Structure 1
Amino acid sequence: MTSNNDTLLIQKSKQGDVHSFELLISKYQVYAYNIAWRMLGNEEDAKDATQETLIKVFKGLDKFKENSEFSTWLYTITVNTCRDLLRKRKKSMAISVDDTEDKIPIQLVADDAAGPEAQLEQKEVAGQLLTALGKIPEFQKTAVLLRDVYGFSYEEIGAIENCSVGTVKSRISRGRHGLRTLILNERSKNLQEGGTI
């Protein structure tokens, strides 16, 4: 359920109160931008997507059902806006390494048999993981990011992606498996070439 404070701001925003809308959006704008940045891979596109998202939210506020979370509705619009931009510009799902590698959970690609030295490789593996994220299917990538980077529940991801919890779990499982395979293949290739892992 949307908080009481948000509900009041939403109601005032629906009546055309711009100040209330600004207060409402200020709570979620940075989070929406971060999602856009990780999906689009650069600051300029992320800003464009966030701006377009906020316009869509303002224009479509009357359609928002107040018995659900406002944040989930806003993030759904953010994800869909990013996908629209990617289709229009025919860009790949690139992700920038800067300020992201330390937020990627190492357990996504960790080898259960790895020793303590694996911790020293975390930064390198995170960089490889970011590259691999651009190579897995879009819906798997989005599900993995929403779950493992942003901490959304399966139910919340299902609401954002408009699919069942079972589908969410399947996408996450396949996405993690694909990432693990890509990372291990890259590490194996580096070893064969005499490089570092």
Structure 2
Amino acid sequence: MSSNEGDLVVASQKGDLEAFNELVLCYQDRIYSLAMRILGDQDSAEDVTQNTFLTAYLNLPRFRNGSFRSWLYRIATNACYDVHRRHKRYPVLSIESEELDEERFLPLKDFSGSNTLPEMEVERHELEQAVQHALNRLEVDQRTIVVLIDQQDLDYQEAAQALRIPIGTVKSRLARARLRLRQLLGNSGGIR
């Protein structure tokens, strides 16, 4: 935890709402990205993000000199697991077809003056879709570890703290998840 972040946490624990708002601004995009990658649903990811910060705020007095980032990610992953269990128990059916939901349209973009060619943008978007689709096919514990380490840049120790599992378990889940991703992406013409 950086000294500035540590100061913000201490100030937040003393009731400084501005300090907590700075922590929210620092982490909200990362927490949303984590939830979106794990759950694959925008509304659920927004709810998890909001609930993560509410839970963190309410539990700040119990936070003790550790990694604030790991603590926050633990709250977020637990919230994602809760949503995942709830959806498993009570599936939500969409009126729209699954194909329409998977095929998100590219936003109209002005490529004049841009270094990115439209073809490259389409390829990048298709690759992102393939990776997200493959991630969604992983077991939730494997998906979570890939998102934490490969996309959120947590180290093994931080991921272990966030998930409350041993480092060895982090490494083995990550290895199995990466192998499964390679298989899934290889079968769909993705990255090998």
- TM-score, normalised to structure 2, is 0.74
Residue number in structure 2 paired with 1:140: 142
Cα shift readout 1:86-123 (whole Å, capped 9, x = no counterpart): 2123259xx9786xxxxxxxxxxxxxxxxxxxxxx776
Kindly indicate whether residue 8 of structure 2 is the aligned counterpart of residue 9 of structure 1. Answer: yes
Kindly state the Cα deviation for residue 150 of structure 1 after the two structures are TM-superposed. 2.1
Distance 1:130 1:123 in 2: 11
Assess if the C-alpha contact under 8 Å between 2:37 and 2:132 holds in 1.
no
- Per the alignment, residue 86 of structure 2 pairs with 88
Where does 1:11-50 land on structure 2 (aligned, <5 Å)? Answer: 11-50=10-49
Q: Is the contact made by 1:9 and 1:21 (CA closer than 8 Å) also made in structure 2?
A: yes
Cα distance in structure 2, aligned partners of 1:151 and 1:10: 21
Q: Distance in 2 between matches of 1:17 and 1:122?
A: 42
CA distance in 2, matches of 1:133, 1:97: 16
> Counterpart of 1:128?
130
SS at match of 1:28: helix
Displacement after TM superposition at 1:143 (Å): 0.9
Query: What letter matches 2:180 in structure 1?
Result: G
Query: 1:64 corresponds to which residue?
Result: 63
Secondary structure at 2:153 match in 1: coil
Q: Where do 5+ consecutive residues of structure 1 fail to align? A: 99-120, 188-197
Backbone CA RMSD of aligned residues: 2.8
Q: Distance in 2 between matches of 1:123 and 1:21?
A: 35
Residues 158 and 165, structure 1, Cα contact 8 Å, conserved in 2: yes
Which residue identity is paired with 1:138?
V
Partner of 2:166: 164
- CA deviations on 1:30-54 (whole Å, 9 max, x unpaired) are 2111111212223221111111111
Does the CA contact (< 8 Å) of 1:73 and 1:160 recur in 2? Answer: yes
Deviation, structure 1 residue 132: 1.9
- The 3 A distance-change label for structure 1 pair 164 and 54 is same
Equivalent-residue separation in structure 2 for 1:153 and 1:97 (angstroms): 33
Residue 179 of structure 1 is matched in structure 2 by: 181
Identity percentage over the alignment? 34
Q: Which runs of 5+ in 2 are unaligned?
A: 93-100, 105-122
Q: 1:65 to 1:96 in 2, by over 3 A?
A: farther
Question: Is this contact kept in 1: 2:37–2:135, CA < 8 A?
Answer: no
**Structure with larger RCO (C-alpha < 8 A, sep 6+):** 2
Count of residues paired in the alignment:
164
Corresponding residue for residue 54 of structure 1: 53
Paired amino acid for 2:166 = S
